[in-house]
Amino acid sequence: MHINEIEVDYEQLKRSKLRVINLYKKLGGVEIINRVSFEVYPGEIFVITGPSGSGKTTLLKLLNRLLEPDDGKVFLGNIDLLSIDVLTVRRLICYVPQIPVMFEGTVRENLMFAPRYLNIPVSEESLREIMTDVGLNPSYLDKIAETLSVGEKQRVALARALLIKPVYLLLDEPTAHLDPENTRILEDLILELNRTRGVNFIIVSHDTAQAKRLGTRIARLENGQLSIIGREKIE
């Protein structure tokens, strides 16, 4: 792939760490993210916990420039993500919101939305494979997306993100609106994708038990500050 007209090795990018340096953001005159620095390593499931209103979603959105920081830097390997085209950033660092958004039409049309916009070729075989990867029968491709359950929509949203092959996948409270059974299914899917496909995840969760189940490393965001914490310190 090309970034700023320079050929970049995608496989090398997948092995690159994400570095966040001195990130700062005010919203409505209030400091939400206050000089936050951390690193996420390839192969990780990095989970961010913290109380409601602590800025966890804001932090995720800053990582792929759905929000622009007031100060600070974000690097993927040696690429300054604040200096390149924002659509390229959102292909490399893909955000999946807490409530899955389905566009009008079939599941197939939903899956193809981003690849068409980004000019990424996707075969019918790839569509069927991605459905299987997220635990849905390929026959779902012809279903109307809005008729799916919340759990099924969440898996379609995940499949849609995976199709553009992001280097890091940002999940914002992915199980917040799911029942215990669908929560288990999605957690197992995240662990499997990380183990078998090497998908790098950064996940926001208010559920400390979930953080322990999923996290390679766990951080806590509170009062605008992020600290890396051990599993034994999570209450």
**Structural domains of the chain, count:** 1
The verdict on residue 26 lying in a domain is yes
The verdict on residue 163 lying in a domain is yes
Give the DSSP per-residue string, 17-60.
Answer: PEEEEEEEEEETTEEEEEEEEEEE-TT-EEEEE--TTSSHHHHH
Instruction: Pinpoint the alpha helices (H) of 77-169.
Output: 86-92, 107-117, 124-133, 150-163
The verdict on residue 54 lying in a domain is yes
Q: What is the CATH number of the domain that holds 213?
A: 3.40.50.300
Backbone dihedral angles phi then psi of residue 165, each to the nearest 5 degrees: 55, 60
CA–CA dist 212, 63 (Å, integer): 23
The verdict on residue 19 lying in a domain is yes
Domain that holds residue 190: 2-230
The verdict on residue 235 lying in a domain is no
CA–CA dist 114, 53 (Å, integer): 30
The verdict on residue 136 lying in a domain is yes
User: Helix or strand or coil: residue 106?
Assistant: strand
Look at the pTM and tell me if it is higher than 0.85. Answer: yes
Tell me, what DSSP letter sits at residue 120?
-
Per-residue pLDDT of the chain (235 residues; tens, 9 = 90+): 555 555 567 778 888 999 999 999 999 999 999 999 999 999 999 999 999 889 999 999 999 999 999 999 999 999 999 999 998 899 999 999 998 899 999 999 999 998 888 888 999 999 999 999 999 999 999 999 999 999 999 999 999 999 999 999 999 999 998 999 989 999 999 999 999 888 999 999 999 999 999 999 999 999 999 998 765 444 5
Of 108, 109, 113, 98, which is closest to residue 136 (Cα–Cα)?
Answer: 108
